[in-house]
Amino acid sequence: MKLTLVGVSHHQAPVELRERVAVDIAGASALARSLADGCEAVVLSTCNRTELYLASDRDAALEEHAGRALLDLAGDEGAALAPVLYRLGDDSAALHLFRVAAGLDSLVPGEGEILGQVRDAFEAGTTGPLLDRLFRQALHAGRRARVETAIGESPASVPAAAAALAQQVFGELGGRGVVLVGAGKMSELTARNLRTRGASVLAVANRTMEHGVELARQVGGRAIALDALPEELRRADVVVSSTSAPGFVLDVARAGAALRGRRGRPLLFVDLAVPRDVDPALAGVDGCFVYDVDDLEAVVEASIAGRRAEAVRAERIVASEAERFREWQTSLAVVPAIASLRARAEEIRAAELAKAEGRLGRLPESERRLVEAVTSQIVAKLLHTPTVRLKEAAAAADGVIYADVVRHLFGLGEEEQQS
Amino acid sequence: MAELLVWPVLIAYGEAAFAYAGELRGPGFAGRLAVWGVRLGWIAQTALLVVQAIDTDGFPWGTWAGALNLFVWLVVGAYLIWGCRPRYRLLGLAVMPPAAALLVAAWAGGGTGVTTRDEPGALLAFHVGLMLAGFAGLTLAAGMAALYLWQERRLKRRDAHLLRLRVPPLDALDRLSARTSLTSLVVLSAGMVVGLASFQRGDFDAAIAVSLAIWALVASSLLLRFEVGVRGRRFAVLLMLVLGLVVVVLPITHFAS
């Protein structure tokens, strides 16, 4: 059985081309069904790639079939798409999918969404034995890469870094209160990131009340004036600030009384504004942590570098999973020989028992069953070692030779031809 | 038998201590190796204590070395409650190296073998067990406080590599260390009440004085925390002072008495 992958990705194709062949999950399902004419098909379409995975016994037609489907999707951009299409087969295709699932083929190594996208594509596909095994193992490889390395742990954007820092201070963010100062885009993104991790927005403090009301409507909480901010600090756990004010909005003089009222509870200031909103001297107050945009960018940079370092370990995991898949796929070559051998042995056993029917007929039923069981066990034990050795040989790439030898020694081919 | 069992314990704890240092480079295999070292070592030490209890005539942990052996078992046992969770693995770096070192000291002092001791009475044995359990809990709380101070320093310095290590959240460390010290205070108080039952005039010595000082320090730290809001860094520093009394002063006074 042959596995083929034809696809286009961010490595070679610009977004103008990728968007022409991008399909949503319903489209991927429909395309997989249309491609699965006597073969297995899965369509993986994300913002960075569209890939068609096909598996069939019809070797030659697969690649052409998949390539044509992608060119059809591209429509009048087909000519531009053709040179950037890549085609991979069997081992290379499997390794590629495992790397994709582990996030090693992504723009940011280890990004979290891809594993879910691979799972969705698998569930929407028209799979058979080969693609079923391939995708299950790819999902397993992706999970292993994330569990056994830290590739997916560190944040890859400033809002995610701010949320990760909040988790370093508070752990689970459920029940934690966030105060937004300023209604800028970065504040909103950070607030959304914190909310996805369980935090809730208490208030949005803004110079222009209507902007504050609008943001509060989107992210929760209530809009307040900037003057009311110190009072809000008593309840907050995280303060995200991104105003365009020329000086500090929060300093020790303004926030001091509120901070003393917190009785030592920690407070994280995330200052995304330039010029800065939060006086760095607040970091000297017990329990207060102040991070400005440079600090957060440094955290992101370090975490992406860390992801790249972890990617080396993840590559090893992916390679070992790809090797396991290769062994499984090559073992398929000896499966017909093993099945024939077992069928032949069972045939002989049944025939010999039938010959002895006259004498066995006089035995009580329980003893007849015992004879059946004993002969079955003898056959199973005799065939166990050859079966294991054949599978081992298949994994070592000379399985076809062994399968031929078995067919020759036991006359399996002759039997099949005679029948 | 007891002397044979001590080696697997020392090897497993030593392995855990080294493996936790590996966890500093990044989470993964080293951390899992460390946790298995702690688990297997603790099981082996439990077996060692059982053998000591069965084979020894009288209370087997009455000497300083024997008490140290029991103390290490209690500390590691308490650590196991959290230590197996990936986020709390680095706590092992504050717990396992000292635990391994203390066990070596206990072994060198003959506290891991089987000898004949005077029968101290069930009440005294119960008193010693409770006091050691209390000190073990305080040691663990101080381990958390040390981790808190280290992580707080990294956060204050805005270390760019802050997220590379799995460290327990600051707030969780603060709350857990407070809860652990509160539990330890209750156990210590119970130990002292039991000790009072067999206390006689003239028994008062330096060890009792230091134990009372530790009790008073922990009680005032907790009182300050709940009434005045002394928490976070300041509470962690108080717990480190408690650890100083437990680890440094108590053995010294014990040897002297």
Tens-of-pLDDT digits for all 419 residues of chain A? 788 899 998 888 888 888 888 888 888 888 888 888 778 899 998 888 899 999 887 656 777 888 888 888 888 877 888 888 898 888 899 999 999 999 898 877 887 788 889 999 999 888 888 899 999 999 999 999 988 887 877 777 888 889 989 998 998 898 899 999 988 888 888 888 899 889 999 999 988 888 889 888 888 888 998 888 888 888 899 999 988 888 888 888 888 888 888 877 899 999 988 888 899 999 888 889 999 989 988 888 888 888 888 888 899 999 999 998 888 887 777 787 888 888 888 888 888 888 887 776 677 778 888 888 899 999 999 988 888 887 777 766 676 777 788 888 887 765 555 54
Measure the CA–CA gap between A410 and A173, rounded to whole angstroms. 68
Measure the CA–CA gap between A132 and A115, rounded to whole angstroms. 16
Measure the CA–CA gap between A203 and A259, rounded to whole angstroms. 17
Extract the tokens encoding A404. 């031929």
Measure the CA–CA gap between A291 and A269, rounded to whole angstroms. 6
Distance from CA of A122 to the nearest CA of B (A): 29
Among candidate residues A235, A224, A228, A288, the one with its CA nearest the CA of residue A261? A235
Measure the CA–CA gap between A78 and A68, rounded to whole angstroms. 9
Q: What is the 3-state secondary structure (H, E, C) of B150-167?
A: HHHHHHHCCCCCHHHCCC
Do A226 and A242 contact (CB within 8 A), yes or no? no
pLDDT in tens, A232-289: 888 899 999 988 888 888 888 888 888 888 877 899 999 988 888 899 999 888 889 9
Distance from CA of B237 to the nearest CA of A (A): 13
DSSP state of B246: I
For residue A287, the chain B residue with the least C-alpha distance is: B232
Contacts of A302 in chain B (CB under 8 A): 160-161, 163-164
DSSP letters, A287-310, are TEEEEEHHHHHHHHHHHHHHHHHH
On the CB side of B3, CA atoms within 13 Å amount to 6
ipTM of the modeled complex: 0.75
Measure the CA–CA gap between A295 and A288, rounded to whole angstroms. 15
Torsion, CA A94, CA A97, CA A103, CA A109, rounded to 10: 70
Residue B218: which residues within 8 A CB-CB, separation 6 or more?
B138, B181, B184, B185, B188, B242
Q: pTM here?
A: 0.66
Measure the CA–CA gap between B191 and A53, rounded to whole angstroms. 69
Cα distances (Å, whole numbers) of residue A140 to A101, A134, A150: 9, 10, 16
CB contact under 8 A, B27 and A150: yes
Do B49 and B69 contact (CB within 8 A), yes or no? yes
CB contact under 8 A, A263 and B233: no
pLDDT in tens, A59-89: 567 778 888 888 888 888 778 888 888 988 8
Other CB atoms within a 10 A radius of the CB of residue B96 amount to 29
Do A122 and A29 contact (CB within 8 A), yes or no? no
Q: Among partner residues B27, B166, B169, which is closest to A170 by beta-carbon distance?
A: B169
Q: How far apart are the first and last CA of chain A?
A: 25
pLDDT in tens, B56-71: 777 777 777 888 888 8
- Three-state DSSP class for A223? strand
Distance from CA of B156 to the nearest CA of A (A): 6
Q: Does B164 touch chain A (CB under 8 A)?
A: yes
Say whether the peptide bond before residue B251 is cis (omega within 30 degrees of 0). no
φ/ψ of residue B221, rounded to 5: -60, -45
Q: Does B8 touch chain A (CB under 8 A)?
A: no
CB pairs < 8 Å spanning A and B: 84
Contacts of A283 in chain B (CB under 8 A): 156
CB contact under 8 A, B163 and A148: no
Contacts of B33 in chain A (CB under 8 A): none
